[in-house]
Structure 1
Amino acid sequence: MNLKTGLALCSALAYEQVHAVQYLSVEQAQKALFPEATNFAQQDWLLTPSQAQDVQKRSGQMPRAMHLRVFQAWQGEHPLGYVVLDSVIGKFDLIDYAVAIGADGAVRQLEILTYRESHGFEIRNAAWRAQFAGKTVLSDLQIGHGIANISGATLSCTHVTDGVRRIAATAQVVLRK
């Protein structure tokens, strides 16, 4: 192999590994998750150690962080729910997503913000994301139990589902639902 061919091969391999796509900004996700909202107010959640333990007990996972970036959705004076921002590892890279939690504490919708993997982007499909609507931490919120897997995107599906279950448990703990 000559130098030119080697450089072309290295370039092609490097290109294959870089697939970061930002689908939505935070503001776009807010509007997609709560289209009827007239405004969003940042209302971050700061977990205490006992709340973190409660989240682990309910979801089977420790919170990724004690501080969660959260926006409360409002329609005039009426609170609609919350947009919780989170990230999970796919196979190698982070997947940024937003979860809408309704005023009742149930998952309302899921949006993928940024996807950095070369495979598994199918988790952005509306039909797959729609499976989360109405789920709580007490629901079947696991791959194979309430949430279907996507062949070729198993790790992305599993990790996002685990993240949504953790967010649902966190909302239950913070909101006392």
Structure 2
Amino acid sequence: MRVVLVASAAAAAVSLPTVAFAVEYQTADVAARRMFPDADAFDARAVTPDAAVLRQLDAQNARGSSREWTVRVARHGGALLGYVVVDRTIGKAEAIDFAVALTPDGTVKAVEILAYRESYGHEIRLPSWRKQFVGKTAAAPMRIGDDIANISGATLSCTHVTEAIRRIVAMVTLMRRAEALPT
């Protein structure tokens, strides 16, 4: 290996390679099939909460930047198995794509990380961290330090993904009550 010392920061920026950390682990379709392996059909639909649902999300401190979500309705033989909601949030500075599977009653069944672009904090992809959400409902606090553990070096990624999952669970619960999703 050859090391070259550079006299200026500008020259260093030009001569050193840029390192990219983006990793796409799986597509939303693959994640949906992993989370609902018994499903024989997925009906994808765009879900846009109306003003009343957005006000309720605000009241629950669960409103985020997403105004529309893609929801895959999982079915087996016509029977509803649950929902898969795909969303994106920001970690520290880069986007994190993820999917949340919910049972027909709005309980979290699974969480999958689809793409992670940060240079640190990829541990949120570990099953032990994601399993903390399984069984959570809209009544759960879902807050770092309360019922969700933090990962050192990934505090912002953990916090933002947790907030986004809490928002999705609240949105699905409200949309089911409003009969905007099949029950």
Corresponding residue for 1:147? 148
| 2:117 maps to amino acid | R
Structure of higher CA gyration radius: 2
Q: Could you tell me which runs of 5 or more consecutive residues in structure 1 were left unpaired when the two chains were aligned.
A: none
Corresponding residue for 2:32? 30
Deviation at 1:61, TM superposition (A): 3.1
Corresponding residue for 1:162? 163
Corresponding residue for 1:90? 91
Cα distance in structure 1, aligned partners of 2:67 and 2:39: 27
Corresponding residue for 2:62? 61
Corresponding residue for 1:138? 139
Q: Deviating runs (4+, > 6 A) in structure 1?
A: none
Corresponding residue for 1:71? 72
| 1:138 maps to amino acid | A
Cα distance in structure 2, aligned partners of 1:132 and 1:19: 26
Which structure shows the higher helix fraction?
Answer: 1
1:85-143 deviation line (CA, Å, top 9, x unaligned): 10110001100000001101111110000000000000000010001001012113111
Are the counterparts in 1 of residues 85 and 100 from structure 2 also a CA contact under 8 Å?
A: yes
How many residue pairs get matched? Answer: 172
1:11 is aligned to 2:16:
yes
Are the counterparts in 1 of residues 71 and 83 from structure 2 also a CA contact under 8 Å?
A: yes
Q: Secondary structure at the match of 1:28?
A: helix
Q: Secondary structure at the match of 2:133?
A: coil
The equivalences for 1:95-134 within 5 A come to 95-134=96-135
Q: Could you tell me which runs of 5 or more consecutive residues in structure 2 were left unpaired when the two chains were aligned.
A: 1-5, 179-183
Deviation at 1:9, TM superposition (A): 7.4
Deviation at 1:76, TM superposition (A): 1.2
Corresponding residue for 1:43? 45
| 1:31 maps to amino acid | R
